[in-house]
Structure 1
Amino acid sequence: MSFIKTTEQDSNYNHLEKMTISELLQNINNEDKTVPYAVEKALPQIEALVQQIVDKLKIGGRLFYMGAGTSGRLGIVDASECPPTFGVSHELVVGIIAGGDSAIREAVEFAEDSKVQGWQDLLDYAISPKDVVVGIAASGTTPYVISALEKCNENGIITGCIVCNKNSPLSQTAQFPIEVVVGPEFVTGSSRMKAGTAQKLTLNMITTSTMIQLGHIKGNKMVDMQLSNNKLVDRGAKMIMNEIQVSKEVALELLNTHKSVRNAIKNYTDGGKQ
């Protein structure tokens, strides 16, 4: 099948510099509205990958995201939000970016073009067949990511990807590809826009559904969240108040004693504190 890089095709709009601020915002918003529908078309692909991730994490595996530039940064953001949201280890979901941590803030020239560094970066984490590696690349052509997934395939490691072009080299390399085709960007080739939004929505789905499957949500509440600031302590206290019908004073005392919403509720209902 032919590969057409729609993320690089000319914008549906021209003479952007002649538009008013109102026109710019309206047109960008019109383009953004199409993204959730593109994600919807990829739901079966997302489900297939999530099932693999859940199965591996249940036996002690880890989830790795790999990308360059915006794609790499989005993977790191999603990975970094899992511990505070779901109370899991920082080692459970890991984001890796071409060029290393310095590339999070500043572009590292030609880092994405390396065909050996991606696999080396995974080896630094003692990657194994218990893990899952998901490559993220709007274009689907990033050598750093493709070469790493090729080595994963050779070593019996499950691979997935999130791309925004159909039939890309990366989606043909990944065992469980996710293709969210958003079409041309408002600013031609600026894949931090619709493509980045599509990737973020997909990443939200992957980790949220995985963590729910792993038991880190009760009802619809983040009962395993880290109590790392006053806002979260207050949220946790309200969860406890609603769940076991106690005063805020008692809820805060339980939180202080048991250090998590889940443990506070469990110990109270088990008779540990009356």
Structure 2
Amino acid sequence: MTDSLTCLTTEKRNERTNHMDQMSTSEILSVMNEEDHKVAEAVKQVLPAITTAVDHIASALKKGGRLFYVGAGTSGRLGILDASECPPTFMADPEMVQAVMAGGGQAFTKAKENSEDDVLQGGRDIQANKLTNQDVVVGITASGRTPYPIGALEHASKVGAYTISLSCNRSSEISDYAECPIEVVVGPEVLTGSTRLKSATAHKMVLNMMSTTAMIKLGKVYENLMVDVHASNHKLRERAKSILMECSTASYEEAEQTLKDAKLEVKPAIVMLKRSVSYEKAKQLLQGAGGNLRKAVEESS
């Protein structure tokens, strides 16, 4: 592993901001905004690789496999953010999408920068999750050379899990350890080397794309509605009622009662409204359709 960072795009100086300390507040914000515009285009360039990653993730999850995000620092925190939102958004089992971060969970709020340098620990931490060849592991590192996620991908490969890397430099070192390398080259950061900026934005976009699209492929979305939302608080219950009204001719009161009768489960509630059936029958129809709401409401009994 090379020790030099000077060859990395993420470590190069951005010529547009060489005199940033002399700029006005407005000028700094303007150039940051202009640089951020480059992120979406960089992600667009790697859509084929993201497509490959998502298809493998969805296939693995359908078969009972799990998705693991592994990273250090900002990369690890982004993995935790994306994984933690899957249960409330898609009613996914907490085991389905998980994050493993260098330094453990406490490193999410208090940086432990030296923890990223232990390649063996990356392997040990992912191994502790009893990884199998049914799982998928995504190693996240802006530089593409962080030992911790590289160690995790090394172990993942040994057990036959599908491996994906996510970095922000061309020909990244971590790409050599992944079956599906994704290199989102966003260019030099506004603040030299601060990959919590454009690089992190790119990675959040890609992680959101991967998890959301995989959940769509699993039938957890109907049209563009989150029909597997976990209605666990007032806001989410109100959202659930709105979804029921969007999917049927139900009034607010009817949606509220149906949601209650469906034990706050949106999918069965929609089937109940669209097929005029009981909660028990709605559950049977969904089970027969493999959880796919569209099939459950469109196929004949």
- When normalised by structure 2's length, the TM-score is 0.88
Q: Quick one: distance in 2 between partners of 1:268 and 1:134?
A: 40
8 A Cα contact 2:123 2:152, kept in partner: yes
8 A Cα contact 2:66 2:97, kept in partner: yes
Q: Quick one: distance in 2 between partners of 1:24 and 1:256?
A: 51
Q: CA deviation at 1:148?
A: 1.5
Larger deviation, residues 240-249 vs 16-25: 240-249
Instruction: Classify the secondary structure of the residue corresponding to 1:209.
Output: helix
RMSD: 1.6
1:175 aligns with 2:179: yes
Instruction: Classify the secondary structure of the residue corresponding to 2:185.
Output: coil
Larger deviation, residues 163-172 vs 120-129: 120-129
Q: Which amino acid aligns with 1:38?
A: A
1:61 is matched with 65
Describe how 1:120-139 pairs up with structure 2 within 5 A. 120-139=124-143
Q: Quick one: distance in 1 between partners of 2:144 and 2:113?
A: 19
- Give unmatched runs, 5+ long, in structure 1: none
1:50 is matched with 54
Larger deviation, residues 4-13 vs 40-49: 4-13
Q: Quick one: distance in 1 between partners of 2:259 and 2:25?
A: 48
Describe how 1:10-89 pairs up with structure 2 within 5 A. 10-12=13-15, 13-89=17-93
2:236 is matched with 232
Q: Quick one: distance in 2 between partners of 1:20 and 1:109?
A: 32
Q: CA deviation at 1:54?
A: 1.1
1:111 aligns with 2:115: yes
User: Which of 263, 267, 274 is the matching residue for 1:269?
Assistant: 274
Q: Quick one: distance in 1 between partners of 2:176 and 2:157?
A: 12
String of CA shifts for 1:147-198, please: whole Å, max 9, x gaps.
1111211221110011000001101111101010011000000000000000
Q: Quick one: distance in 1 between partners of 2:116 and 2:68?
A: 17
1:7 is matched with 10
1:247 aligns with 2:251: yes
Q: Quick one: distance in 1 between partners of 2:177 and 2:120?
A: 16
Q: Which amino acid aligns with 1:11?
A: N
Instruction: Classify the secondary structure of the residue corresponding to 1:35.
Output: helix
Q: Which amino acid aligns with 2:122?
A: G
Larger deviation, residues 160-169 vs 146-155: 146-155
User: Which of 166, 171, 184 is the matching residue for 2:170?
Assistant: 166
Q: Which amino acid aligns with 2:98?
A: V
Larger deviation, residues 238-247 vs 33-42: 238-247
Q: Quick one: distance in 2 between partners of 1:102 and 1:32?
A: 30
Q: Percent identity?
A: 46
User: Which of 249, 262, 265 is the matching residue for 1:260?
Assistant: 265
Q: Quick one: distance in 2 between partners of 1:213 and 1:134?
A: 19
Instruction: Classify the secondary structure of the residue corresponding to 2:119.
Output: coil
Instruction: Classify the secondary structure of the residue corresponding to 1:237.
Output: helix
1:93 aligns with 2:110: no
Q: CA deviation at 1:268?
A: 3.1
- Give unmatched runs, 5+ long, in structure 2: 280-301
Larger deviation, residues 5-14 vs 260-269: 260-269
Q: Quick one: distance in 2 between partners of 1:260 and 1:17?
A: 54
The higher relative CO (CA closer than 8 Å, separation ≥ 6) is in: 1
Instruction: Classify the secondary structure of the residue corresponding to 1:110.
Output: helix
1:150 is matched with 154
